[in-house]
Amino acid sequence: MKAVMDQNAFQSAARMALRGTGWNGILSEGHQAQSGVKFGKEKRKMSTIPETMKAAILMGPNQLEVKEVPTPKPGPMEVLLKVASCACCSTDVALMAKPFPGQPPYGSFIPGHEYAGEVVALGDTVDEFKIGQRVAVEAHLGCMRCRNCRVGNYTACLNYGTPKHRANGMTSNGGFAQYVVNNINTVHAIPDHVGFNEAALITNLGCVLYGFQTVGGYVAGDHVAVIGPGPLGLISSQVARAFGAEMVYLIGTRASRLTKGAETGAHRVINIHEEDPVKVVLEGTNGVGADLVIESSGASDAPMMAIKMVKPMGKILLLGFPHEPVLVDLEDVLMKNKSIYAVRGEGWANLRRAVSLIGSGKIDLKPYVTHTFPLDEINTAFKTFIERIGGAVKVVVKPNE
């Protein structure tokens, strides 16, 4: 990987990527120094912020390069974070292959939306956080002005893909860098005993909790089937058990993932290569079907499987993203009053709930972090994640190591 970007090319790109992030109103006795900016005596005596940082820039389709770029600066209602951990996600893989609506242009965009770190600078008006505070983030801010955002549905912002909208790591720069700027509404303090690697996965937990809230949230005594033992499926299994489900089935194809699920929440694992999951679930429910089926695989045949195994008046939650049209039996859905729900992101402030569950020990995300890499090895990190090398589940990049 190249370490330095051509200055003329970068200056043009940087104006796009770093727009609206001037050093306005830094708090806590800050002062400018030649080597960088120094701040605050609130938690540590001094924290030095360099003028430049290393970041993984998306230069073209599936082309990440680590370069030296200007360190961003927080504006009003923003904080600057020193990124400790940023996890690889399937959404990153998708947007690196094909840009999302509103994604910054090649040569200026820093991906990464699942990250945690430390507050090192405060923008004007910010008094909600302190220098040195440990935090996790959610990606979606929205536009804070459309009808959906105004009522709290910011993950379904009506201005998504326009300059009004902001989702870190998707429509604005993200966490595969040593520093990143976040709006305070996307930042959540974490307890000191929660590690940064685990905290980077709190976004995944927030997404799952958003799904559970969407379908009603009350699963005590229910039979819950989860299709797909990826990160969201594994977490869904653990959440369902923590919420009191009588039986949690985890369905997949990889023995290593299913074993991980059995260790962290699932009562019964079903390998599709060895058993018919619909038959197993129906037999386990006396022919009735599951109360709730969570589809987290994104496989094209999974929605139909979910319809077949859910009971009449049961619920189906779609967390996985199929990348092609899928065939479903709507007659079965309608005749048996089955309901289908879909969620995107970690909406309705569910990261606050996620932090609480992690902090109290009711949910444990640590087992899902299987690999870590320094920022300079980010391409190896994604190869490990995509190809599931060494049983990879969640792969975490450490930008400041």
pLDDT in tens, 54-100: 999 999 999 999 999 999 999 999 999 999 999 999 999 999 999 99
* Amino acid identity at 177: A
Q: What is the mean pLDDT of residues 121-145?
A: 95
Give burial (CB, 10 Å; 0-12/13-18/19+) of 266.
buried
Contacting residues for 369 by C-beta, under 8 A, at least 6 apart: 87, 197, 198, 201, 393, 394, 396
Report the CATH number at residue 300.
3.40.50.720
- Measuring CA to CA, how many Å separate 67 from each of 54, 153, 177, 260, 397? 6, 35, 10, 36, 15
Find how far residue 238's CA is from the centre of its chain.
Answer: 17
Residue 360 maps to a domain: no
Write down the pLDDT at residue 324: 86
- For residue 346, pLDDT over 60 is answered with yes
pLDDT in tens, 12-63: 444 334 333 334 333 333 323 323 343 443 333 335 899 999 999 999 999 9
Handedness of CA 377, 381, 386, 392 (dihedral sign): positive
Long-range CB contacts (within 8 A, 24+) of 40-44:
40/131, 40/132, 42/130, 42/131, 42/132, 43/130, 43/131, 43/132, 43/133, 44/131, 44/132
- Measuring CA to CA, how many Å separate 251 from each of 85, 136, 192, 247, 292? 29, 30, 35, 13, 14
pLDDT in tens, 287-333: 999 999 999 999 999 999 999 999 999 999 999 988 889 999 999 99
Residue 359 maps to a domain: no
Write down the pLDDT at residue 322: 86
Residues 197 and 262 in one domain: no
Longest dimension (CA), the chain: 73
* Amino acid identity at 26: I
* Amino acid identity at 181: V
Residues 196 and 212 in one domain: no
> To 10 degrees, what angle do helices 378-387 and 90-97 make?
110
Write down the pLDDT at residue 47: 54
- DSSP-assigned letters across all residues of 228-262: --SHHHHHHHHHHHHTT-SEEEEEES-HHHHHHHH
Q: What is the mean pLDDT of residues 202-208?
A: 96
Phi, psi of 120 (to 5 degrees): -120, -10
Contact 226, 258 (CB under 8 A): no
Phi, psi of 286 (to 5 degrees): 55, 40
* Range of the structural domain that residue 331 is part of: 208-342
Contact 27, 184 (CB under 8 A): no
pLDDT in tens, 134-156: 999 999 999 999 999 999 999 99
Handedness of CA 156, 324, 232, 396 (dihedral sign): negative
d(CA 80, CA 78): 7
Residues 104 and 135 in one domain: yes
Residues 98 and 168 in one domain: yes
Residue 44: count of CB within 10 angstroms of its CB: 12
Residues 185 and 262 in one domain: no
- DSSP-assigned letters across all residues of 73-104: ---TTEEEEEEEEEE--HHHHHHHHSPPTTPP
d(CA 84, CA 177): 9
d(CA 256, CA 137): 29
Residues 49 and 121 in one domain: yes
Write down the pLDDT at residue 232: 96
Report the CATH number at residue 184.
3.90.180.10
d(CA 43, CA 162): 38
Residues 212 and 175 in one domain: no
Residues 127 and 245 in one domain: no
Residue 357 maps to a domain: no
Write down the pLDDT at residue 323: 81
* b/e sequence 84-121, b meaning 16+ C-beta within 10 Å: bbbbbbebbeebbeebeebbbeebbbbbbbbbbbbbbb
Contact 117, 135 (CB under 8 A): yes
Q: What is the percent of the chain with per-residue pLDDT over 70, rounded to a whole number? A: 88
* Amino acid identity at 346: E
Residues 228 and 245 in one domain: yes
Identify the CA nearest to 239 among candidates 256, 274, 275, 215: 215
How many domains does the chain fold into? 2
Residue 352 maps to a domain: no
Identify the CA nearest to 351 among candidates 225, 216, 203, 241: 203
Contact 188, 135 (CB under 8 A): yes
Write down the pLDDT at residue 389: 95
Residues 134 and 58 in one domain: yes
